[in-house]
Chain A
């Protein structure tokens, strides 16, 4: 069963990634990227990494892709000229080199077949939560303050300006 699911998720990831690169319509491209992300999340679940799967869907499929779509809709582009296709051989070559390096690294390193000290009964999400709220609570809370400041920044720098009457008389 897991084997079938793996081939389904893996195959769909590859197929939709090819569509994302090959289709001339930018919106279709972005949408097939969404399919890719969701199927990668499926692969994570098969690996029992449910937390990363959830993060994958929330951050990539949710936040980043919506951002892409917004940007694309602002572009008003009908069809991009296929200028990239002249560089297709170069792209394929570089892709193969990267793939080869990844395969090489994967077989050379000790990552394959290594089993960590994670307590399986606890579950990943719970383990990450425990670490975040005990050992790493200080940087974690700090990150929330950074988000607050970043939110101000977005509003101050890009929000609509409401001109206040200057209270210079005071």
Chain B
């Protein structure tokens, strides 16, 4: 058994346990030190993963239940990178928590570990277990502010709906197992051309569960309340990393396992995509709270990502990966601005951002770039991502999907630009400048660089996405 394949996860487990032990054995150890340790540790694990890509390490473990391939490595690096940015962004926030400061860090680490496992899950049982693993961390993190009623409410809602989704997935898995006698993806792939009723219903249940995790349209109901109630850094994390990990799983299921059933699931995903985009964008217009606005815009962005999936080709999967990268920088960046602002003022309504330019030009400029990138304005990252996704769909002749997508891009401009207008054109109620700590500045700069780089010179990242999805070469369009 080649344990090198699972070594990033083993290191990550070790790191989480070390952080945990330091926190309770040496309470006097500064919490910032814990965060620094976690960040350095994760950066090293990222380097390790990069080295693994370099040497072309790949293979499967545990009776093919765990797979390490370029796709898994891509998502692991993605998750680690977003976790690092998130920890940097939450340093100040954690300082203000009344209790359990150290615990915050290792819960984040464990959640990241769960999602790294998710990227490698290669059978139905580990799909379920890893999905639950990462979600458990989030249940706790969402309800982290014990004295805050909204956070408690969000925690309860998230927990109940999350458990429901888990129950649906478990039920679906049992149907598939009962019908096919296997839980391993590659064995299901062999069986899948033969459609049987248990397989179809089971897969639908699993898609519902995954749809819940990524917050696609009919399963999005938890998103606004949970995003608003959860601690802002947790919301930022929730809006990116678990979605990426769940998309990795759905790519694995739809593209690798069920590629023979493609004509059947394309329409399902296209429909979910259309509804997510339209619903997310139209509802976002009416929002007064910045976190809710980003929540609805997140639903719409998932719709855009699903366009790439609906294309169902190798190019479609490249587009999904690349879009996720652009989404990471823009969305996390926008959340960081909200984090800074609500840290300073305890407010997170859109109106409160009025005149941000006068109080902190850097923040306002960063927010401008992030929102324009989310909207898809050239030459920013979001533009390239959207073009890529739309091209993949056009190539497959999904013109209706693409035209609805384009209409939605126009709608989304409206609410993104309202925020921009408030920041630049409205006079602020108070003029006190907002000071930024060094870690927060770092995250903002990382976001700005990311958004610009992916927009102006996306080639290295596109190459990376293309090479990461080489397991889907059988879907190359003729």
Contacts and interface: CB of A to CB of B under 8 A. Distances in A.
Contacts of B143: 157
A170 interface: yes
Contacts of A82: none
A142 B133 contact: yes
Given A138-B126, A161-B146, A163-B99, A146 B136 contact: yes
A142 B113 CA distance: 10
B130 A135 contact: no
A145 interface: yes
A138 B140 contact: no
Interface stretch (A16-24, A73-81, A105-113, A148-156): A148-156
B103 A152 contact: yes
Nearest to B111: A149
Contact of B136 (A137, A150, A167): A150
Given A135-B63, A149-B107, A142 B130 contact: yes
A143 B62 contact: no
B113 A145 contact: yes
A2 interface: no
Contact of B117 (A142, A148, A150, A153): A142
A163 B146 contact: no
Contacts of B129: 139, 142-143, 146
B99 A161 contact: yes
A166 interface: yes
A28 interface: no
Nearest to B127: A139
A142 B63 CA distance: 15
A168 interface: yes
A123 to B, nearest CB: 23
B32 interface: yes
Interface string B82-104: 00000000000001101111010
Contacts of A156: 100, 103, 107, 140, 144
Contacts of B106: 152
A25 B27 CA distance: 48
Nearest to B13: A145
Given A164-B99, A166-B95, A153 B136 contact: yes
Query: Interface on chain A toward B: helix, strand, loop, or mixed SS?
Result: helix
* Residue among A149, A152, A168 with max Cβ neighbours from chain B (10 Å): A149
Contacts of A164: 27, 99, 101
A145 B133 contact: yes
A162 interface: yes
Interface in B59-80: 61-63, 65-66
Contacts of A167: 30-31
Contact of A157 (B98, B130, B133, B146): B146
Given A150-B136, A167-B31, A136 B125 contact: yes
Contacts of A137: 62
Contacts of B130: 142
B139 interface: yes
B284 to A, nearest CB: 31
Contact of A152 (B30, B101, B140): B140
Contacts of B96: 166
Contact of B140 (A153, A161, A162): A153
B472 interface: no
A166 B30 CA distance: 10
Interface string A103-145: 0000000000000000000000000000000011111001101
B193 to A, nearest CB: 26
Nearest to A145: B133
B137 interface: yes
Contacts of B99: 161-164
Pairs A-B, 7 closest by C-beta atoms: A138-B62, A153-B140, A139-B129, A142-B129, A138-B65, A139-B125, A149-B136
12 contacts: A135-B62, A142-B117, A145-B114, A149-B136, A150-B136, A152-B106, A152-B140, A153-B139, A156-B140, A157-B143, A166-B101, A167-B31
Interface of B: 13, 27, 30-32, 61-63, 65-66, 95-96, 98-101, 103, 106-107, 110, 113-114, 117, 125-126, 128-130, 132-133, 136-137, 139-140, 143-144, 146, 155
Given A139-B129, A142-B129, A149-B110, 7 more contacts: A135-B62, A137-B62, A146-B132, A146-B136, A152-B106, A156-B100, A167-B30
